[in-house]
Structure 1
Amino acid sequence: MASAAAQGEEDFDPATHPEVKAMLESLSRQGVSEQELDAAMRAARYRPQVLEAMNHAAERRLRWDEYRDIFIQPERIRQGVAFLDANREALERAERRYGVPPEVVVAILGVETQYGRHKGTHRVLDSLSTLAFHHPTRSGFFRGELAAFLEITLGQGVDPQTLYGSYAGAMGYPQFIPTSYQAYAVDFDGDGLKDLWNDPVDAIGSIANYFSEHGWQRHRPVLVEASGPEALPPDVKFNRTAPPDTTVEALKRVGIEPTAGNLQPQDKVVPLALDFADGHVRYVLGLDNFHVITRYNHSHLYAMAVATLAQRIQTAMDDGV
């Protein structure tokens, strides 16, 4: 594709960009209006700041204590308690249906959008168009997301130019990407809409459904604290987002042991080593539900923030804060 600077007001014009035209032709064969697709892409604009943001995500550059302090704050905990109180019926119904505890669903919303307060300032059409045709390594993935976004909006009679989200094209209360919306969004209040932009009840049901579909284990913990040596054992693979594959027995042989729970020697975990500014390390063992959280965002720091915020919200509820 020609450089964005040269494109000017013709950033993604199907008439001049064959790859855009090919994507739209594929969508039109699926029944989406060719005229509306053409108009949408003519309105899309290249946003270089989106590519810059993709290269500087907090999960890639911060220590655990720095990342933690973004989300684990008294105000966010208080807001989480208030959100849980205000939406208790929907949260308890979601737990009965999907098995996911209220505090975990609320923590996802707390980390993603501060309970709907910050849903994103980037026009989704622009973000996804930029990534779909300019990302150096993942353009194919984002073309799929752009196609899904156009299907969702035009299929529901929504102008794709009007929706805003994250720089990566995530949308609404739970920050679902378009293909996740198609696969996991639910109408949880029975009004005939899967409205993740304005309806916290639909967001609650959709998050719980997402976790259930990715293997959430009802009544099982997310992680277990552990102790370990000052120096990281060199043969242990820490902080992975793959399914648990390291046995408790193997970790004990290198000095890492659970300090809580009743894990058995052959139980498999994800060993985590969380670093702090003073150089010390906190050891944690992620369980199957920890891995499920990383399906929402493929970062061990993200999953730790969600698990920690959920625990703090539950503690505040128990304490009557």
Structure 2
Amino acid sequence: MSNATISSATISSATWQQFLISQGAQFNATGEAVFTTPAAPASGQLFDLSSHGLIAVSGADALTFLQGQFTNDIKQLSQAAQFTGYCTAKGRLLALFYAFSINETIYLQCPRALIAALVKRLRMFVLRSKVVVEDASEQFVILGLASADSAAHIQHLPLHAHQYSQTPLGSLIRLPDSHGKQRAQLIVESAQAEAAWKTLAASFNPTDSEQWDTLEIQAGIPQVYTATQEQFVPQMLNLDALDGINFKKGCYTGQEIVARTHYLGKVKRRTLLAALPETAVAPQVGDAVLDAKQQEAGQLVRVAANKQGGWWLLAECRLEARAAGSIYWQEYELAFAELPYTLA
């Protein structure tokens, strides 16, 4: 990616929130930005993704170190960003990272609430390797962009998902399209974040962060949160279908379990896209989903409000239970939709 020098300036969460408030944002109970002012007539959308944190891993041995930790081939990051899983020895996911490289430093993106514990855990395994693991969440601001227009609307947009490009505002990574919209995330150095937001807001509508979660769900992108750590083998979250597992790269923590799941046959549990009608209470990540006999069939992986009412969600589910009949959250039946990718 870019060889530009990365600034050491940081911006605190509180300072960034105050700036967004000055730009018309409010913040809900979960810390997500909500914009109540009417949107200007434009098809592009601009999102605050500061609920995402970053771990920076650098040093002469960084690639070798991470290659022994994660499910994907970290050596391919010079060509494109990637999804990758961080497992326990039992093959259960502690985190699902979106990994990318800037100026020979590897960045691991995941929910900000997980960052401190993951940094601590990764440092435990560094030992004598020449590796530095740091919380870089306040060195950058991550912004999301979505547009139903041609690629020209998001300037410098790469041709394919996960490819990088360098822009005057920061490092741009194209993400999988969702619901007919092209998407990208922009990683902006903290010192330039306010100026970048103002520049982008001139042609993109500032939009509620939860609507970004909806686009992620519709793209079939799962996530691991505090409530669901150590609940899933990577294939249960479709990480193989998202090119987040490399079965030829060699050993890593949990590799034996992940490989066994792959080579012994068809995966019995998968993450499926579904919708719920309006409900008396909001569904939560980690809530159980039930089969027709009201027995547990899986759990909710990701949840976001549907702008038209109700909820969009990703639900991990026993495929046998799904094939046998309806699946429920509480008394509400899930309405399943097609994922935008194929499950083996």
Whichever structure has more strand as a proportion of its residues is 2
Report the structure number with the largest CA radius of gyration. 1
TM-score (norm 2): 0.26
Whichever structure has more helix as a proportion of its residues is 1
TM-score (norm 1): 0.28
